[in-house]
C-alpha cells in the first residue's frame, strides 16, 4: 500500500534545485509561474461551472486540495490560493456561509524534494491547513476518495524513469550521443513510457479523488505534427545534448557518459494526452486547451533568465551523473548555442506550448 | 486560522538536533524510545478497551492518526506502528475486513523541524499514507473533527515560550544565574506558562479530534511533593546551569547571557496535569499513570549516552544563544558534574518519572 517509492533509487528521483539561492528552483520558476497566471482565468471558470459542491462534499465541510509535484514554492502557494479563492466564490454564490468551510492542502512531491524550504516559506496569512506528502505521484499517495481537487502543474511531463531500450547498445532505440529523443525509435520508447506513467497516475488519482471531484493538469506539450527541427522545445534539448558533447570533446566528460544520460521528459501532443485519459475512463475531460507564453525578445538578459530556469530544474540530475565541475562550462556553452540558434525568438520555430486539461471524476460505481 | 506559528521567532522554536550524525536526535533518543516501549502494553490495552470504532468512524473507513512533536524519527515510526497494530487488532476482533481499513498518518512538528530527514527515513514497508504537518501544536493544525487518534510523546513538557517575568530584572521571578526553575517564584511562573500552553493544546485538539476519538500523552513529570534537591530531573538542569556558570567564570560566555537564558521546559506532577485536563472538560481521562525507567548503572559509558540524549535535544537552542564554540567544554563539564553528583544512579534521588495519560474525546454537543 501507500507510497511505493518508484523514484527512490538514484536514477529515478529528479528533484528541482533546493534551497533559495540564485540557482534555486524557487528563484527560477518564472516560466511555470507565467503558465499558472495564464490558466488562472480558465481554472476559475472551470471551477465555477463544473464544481458540484453537494456532490463531492461530505459533512463536515472540509475541502481537500492536493498539489502534486509542488516542488518548493512559491508557485505552489499561488496556485493553491487561486483554487481556494475559486471554491470560496462558488461556495458563496450558493449562499453558504464561508465560516463553515475549511481547507486542507496537501503539498506533495518526491521524498527527495526540499520540504524544509517549502514548509519554512508557507504563507503566514494562509487560510488553510497545510500538510506535506512525500512520494511519487505515479503511485498512491492518499486514502480512497479523500481529495476534492488534485492539481498537477509542470510535473507529469517528467517520466518515472528512462525507458530501458534507450540505454541498450543493442537496441535500435539506443540513444547514442543524445540526451533526449530525436529518432523515431527513441521517441516511441519515450512515448510508451509516458503512456504507462500517465496510466499509473490516472489509476492512483481515480482512487483518491471523490466522485465529482476535479483535477487540473498543466504540462509542457508539443505541437501536433511539427517537424522536430522546427519545434523549439525539441531543439532546446537537442542543443543541450550538443553542449554535453562539446564537454566530452573538451575532455570534461566521457562520450559514454553522454550516451547513457537521458532527460526523463516527454512532451505529448494534446490529442495523445486526451487519448490516454479517455482510455483510462475514470475522468471526463471538461476542457483541454493548448496555450503558449510569448516568445522572448532577442536580448541576452532574457536568455540568461530562461537558462537559469532550465538549470534549476536539471542541475541536481546533471550533478548526480556528471559531478558539479561540469556545470558552469556546460551552461555557458548551452547559453551560447541557444542564443546562436534563435529558437527562443524566431517565428520559424514553433513556440513552446503548454497543455491545460481540466478533468472531473466520474461517479464511482 | 491554521497554524499561528507561535514558535516562529528565534526564541520560541526549539527543534531537536537535525540530520543523522552522532549528535543527532535520531541517534540519541533512546530515553524516549524506552518510554514508548514501556507504555506500549498500556496503550494496546487502552485502545482495545476504549476505542469505539462505530462511534468515531465515518464512511469510508479511514483512520487518521497524528503524532504531534514527532521530531525526525525513528521513535515516531515505532509509536505510529504500535497504534496502527492495535487499531487493526480491534478492527479484526469486531470481525471487520482488514482490507476495508486505510490509515493516514500526520507527522507533525514545528516548521523548523528537519522534515527532509523524517521523510527520507519513512519505513518503506509502511501500511499507511504518510504526511507531514508543520506548525506548533499549541495552535490548530488540522481541520475540525479530522483525527481519530492524536499522540504526543515527550513534547508537551516543552513550553511555547519562556515566561516574561523570569527575564525581568525587576521581578521577584527573575531567574538570575540559573537556566531552569528552582525558586518558588520562578517555578510558579513556569507552572502558569505550562497551564496556559496545555489549555491551548487541549482547546485545539478538542476541535480536531472526533467524538469518541483518542489521545495519548507521554511527558516527563516530577514526583509530587519531592524536595527539588532530591529530585533527579530538577538537579539535572541545576547542574547544567552550574556548567553554564562554569563557562562564564572561564570567560567563555557572559554571566548576563546565562541570566537571560532559560530552558523552556516544565515537568508537572500527575495531579497537576489531571487538573488542567479536567478544567478543559473536553476529554475523559481513561488512564493516568506514572512510570519510570530504570536507573543507570554507575558506568561512564551510560552517562555519556545519557548526556548525548540531552545534548541532541538542546544543542540547537544553546547554539542559537551561545554560539557553537561553547558546546564541547560545556557538555564535558556537565558530564563531570552529573557523574560526580550521582543523580543518575543513587537511590537517594527520586528517579526521572514519566507520565502516561490516555484520553477520550467526549461526545460533542
Report the C-alpha gap between A261 and A273 in whole angstroms. 26
Closest approach of B12 to chain A, Cα-based (Å): 15
Residue in the structure block whose three cell numbers are 550521443: A177
Per the CB < 8 Å rule, is A115 touching B132? yes
- The pLDDT of B37-63, averaged and rounded, is 80
Per the CB < 8 Å rule, is B131 touching A104? no
Count the neighbouring beta carbons within 10 Å of the beta carbon of residue B38. Answer: 17
A254-289: pLDDT as tens digits: 999 999 999 999 999 999 999 999 999 999 999 999
Least confident of A154-168, B19-33, B335-349: B19-33
pLDDT at A7: 31
Per the CB < 8 Å rule, is B143 touching A3? no
B111-126: pLDDT as tens digits: 999 999 999 999 999 9
Flag whether pLDDT at B273 surpasses 70. Answer: yes
The DSSP-derived string for B202-224 is: HHHHHHHEEEEEEEEEEEEE--T
Least confident of A20-24, A180-184, B357-361: A20-24
Report the C-alpha gap between A57 and B166 in whole angstroms. 50
Could you give the percent of chain B with pLDDT greater than 70?
A: 94
Per the CB < 8 Å rule, is B131 touching A126? no
Q: Name the more confident of B73 and B231.
A: B231
Per the CB < 8 Å rule, is A130 touching B5? no
DSSP H or E run through A361: strand A353-361
B161: three-class secondary structure by DSSP = coil
Flag whether pLDDT at B109 surpasses 70. Answer: yes
- The pLDDT of B195-224, averaged and rounded, is 95
- The pLDDT of A37-50, averaged and rounded, is 85
pLDDT at B4: 36
pLDDT at A4: 36
Q: Which of A8, A62, A100, A102 to mutate to test the interface with B (most CBs of B within 10 A)?
A: A102
CA-nearest of B82, B109, B97, B96 to B15 is B109
Flag whether pLDDT at A43 surpasses 50. Answer: yes
Closest approach of B97 to chain A, Cα-based (Å): 16
CA-nearest of A313, A318, A209 to A262 is A318
ipTM rounded to 2 decimals: 0.89
Model confidence band, residue A113 (pLDDT cutoffs 50, 70, 90): very high
Report the C-alpha gap between B109 and B132 in whole angstroms. 8
- The pLDDT of A229-240, averaged and rounded, is 93
Q: Name the more confident of B95 and A311.
A: A311
Flag whether pLDDT at B321 surpasses 50. Answer: yes
Per the CB < 8 Å rule, is A60 touching B122? no
Flag whether pLDDT at A301 surpasses 70. Answer: no
- The pLDDT of B159-179, averaged and rounded, is 94
Which of A112, A119, A131 lies nearest to residue B131, judging by beta carbons? Answer: A131
Report the C-alpha gap between A278 and A82 in whole angstroms. 27
Please name the residues in contact with B258: beta carbons below 8 A apart, sequence gap of 6 or more: B177, B178, B179, B241, B244, B245, B247, B248
Q: Which of A134, A135, A141, A144 to mutate to test the interface with B (most CBs of B within 10 A)?
A: A134
pLDDT at B56: 66
Contacts of A100 in chain B (CB under 8 A): none
**H-type alpha helices, A209-348:** 232-249, 255-260, 270-280, 300-322, 327-341
Closest approach of A130 to chain B, Cα-based (Å): 6
pLDDT at A2: 36
Model confidence band, residue B3 (pLDDT cutoffs 50, 70, 90): very low
Flag whether pLDDT at B354 surpasses 90. Answer: yes
Least confident of A111-115, A218-222, B277-281, B344-348: B344-348
Angle at B298 between CA B297 and CA B303, to 5 degrees: 90
Report the C-alpha gap between B31 and B294 in whole angstroms. 11
Domain ranges of chain A: 25-361
Could you give the percent of chain A with pLDDT greater than 90?
A: 68
pLDDT at B12: 66
Q: How many CA atoms does the CB half-sphere of A345 hold within 13 Å?
A: 12
Per the CB < 8 Å rule, is B116 touching A119? no
CATH for the stretch A25-361: 3.40.50.150
- The pLDDT of A15-28, averaged and rounded, is 80
Which of A3, A62, A127 lies nearest to residue B143, judging by beta carbons? Answer: A62
pLDDT at A300: 62
pLDDT at A361: 95
Model confidence band, residue A221 (pLDDT cutoffs 50, 70, 90): very high
- The pLDDT of A325-352, averaged and rounded, is 92
Average of per-residue pLDDT values in chain A:
89
The DSSP-derived string for B330-365 is: HHHHHHHHHHHHTTTT-TTSBPPEEEEEEEEEPPP-
CA-nearest of A31, A71, A74 to A352 is A31
Closest approach of B292 to chain A, Cα-based (Å): 35
**DSSP 8-state class, residue B74:** S
Closest approach of B278 to chain A, Cα-based (Å): 27
pLDDT at B27: 82
pLDDT at B6: 33
pLDDT at A9: 32
Model confidence band, residue B110 (pLDDT cutoffs 50, 70, 90): very high
Flag whether pLDDT at B9 surpasses 50. Answer: no
Interface contacts (A, B; CB < 8 Å): 103
Model confidence band, residue B127 (pLDDT cutoffs 50, 70, 90): very high
Flag whether pLDDT at A131 surpasses 70. Answer: yes
Model confidence band, residue A55 (pLDDT cutoffs 50, 70, 90): confident
Closest alpha carbon within chain A to B8: A120
Contacts of B9 in chain A (CB under 8 A): none
pLDDT at B5: 36
Chain centre to alpha carbon of residue A163: 18
**Contact between A129 and A10 (Cβ < 8 Å):** no
pLDDT at B58: 62
Amino acid at each position: 500500500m501507500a507510497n511505493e517509492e518508484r523514484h527512490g533509487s538514484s536514477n529515478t528521483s529528479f528533484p528541482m534545485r533546493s534551497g533559495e539561492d540564485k540557482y534555486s528552483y524557487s528563484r527560477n520558476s518564472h516560466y511555470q509561474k507565467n503558465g499558472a497566471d495564464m490558466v488562472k482565468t480558465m481554472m476559475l471558470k472551470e471551477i465555477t461551472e463544473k464544481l458540484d459542491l453537494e456532490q463531492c462534499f461530505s459533512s463536515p465541510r472540509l475541502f481537500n486540495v492536493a498539489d502534486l509535484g509542488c516542488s518548493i514554492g512559491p508557485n505552489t502557494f499561488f496556485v493553491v490560493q487561486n483554487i481556494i479563492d475559486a471554491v470560496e466564490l462558488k461556495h458563496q454564490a450558493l449562499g453558504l456561509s464561508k465560516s463553515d468551510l475549511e481547507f486542507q492542502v496537501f503539498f506533495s512531491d518526491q521524498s527527495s524534494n526540499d520540504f524544509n524550504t517549502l514548509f519554512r516559506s508557507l504563507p503566514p496569512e494562509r487560510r488553510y491547513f497545510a500538510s506535506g506528502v512525500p512520494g511519487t505521484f505515479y503511485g498512491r499517495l492518499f486514502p480512497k476518495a479523500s481529495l476534492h481537487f488534485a492539481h498537477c502543474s509542470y510535473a507529469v511531463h517528467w517520466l518515472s524513469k528512462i525507458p530501458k531500450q534507450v540505454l541498450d547498445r543493442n537496441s535500435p532505440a539506443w540513444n547514442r550521443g543524445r540526451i533526449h529523443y530525436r529518432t523515431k525509435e527513441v521517441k516511441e520508447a519515450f512515448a510508451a513510457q509516458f503512456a504507462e506513467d500517465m496510466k499509473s497516475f490516472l489509476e492512483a488519482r481515480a482512487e483518491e479523488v471523490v466522485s465529482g471531484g476535479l483535477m487540473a493538469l498543466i504540462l509542457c506539450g508539443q505541437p501536433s505534427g511539427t517537424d522536430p527541427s522546427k519545434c523549439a522545445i525539441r531543439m532546446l534539448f537537442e542543443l543541450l545534448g550538443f553542449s554535453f558533447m562539446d564537454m566530452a570533446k573538451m575532455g570534461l566528460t566521457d562520450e559514454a557518459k553522454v550516451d547513457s544520460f537521458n532527460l526523463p521528459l516527454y512532451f505529448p501532443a494534446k490529442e495523445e494526452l486526451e487519448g490516454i485519459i479517455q482510455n483510462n475512463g475514470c475522468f471526463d475531460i471538461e476542457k483541454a486547451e493548448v496555450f503558449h507564453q510569448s516568445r522572448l525578445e532577442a536580448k541576452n538578459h532574457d536568455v540568461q533568465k530562461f537558462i537559469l530556469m532550465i538549470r534549476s530544474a536539471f542541475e541536481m540530475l546533471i550533478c548526480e551523473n556528471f559531478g558539479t565541475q561540469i556545470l558552469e562550462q556546460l551552461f555557458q556553452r548551452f547559453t551560447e548555442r541557444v542564443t546562436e540558434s534563435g529558437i527562443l525568438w524566431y517565428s520559424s520555430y514553433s513556440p513552446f506550448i503548454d497543455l491545460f486539461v481540466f478533468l472531473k471524476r466520474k461517479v464511482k460505481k
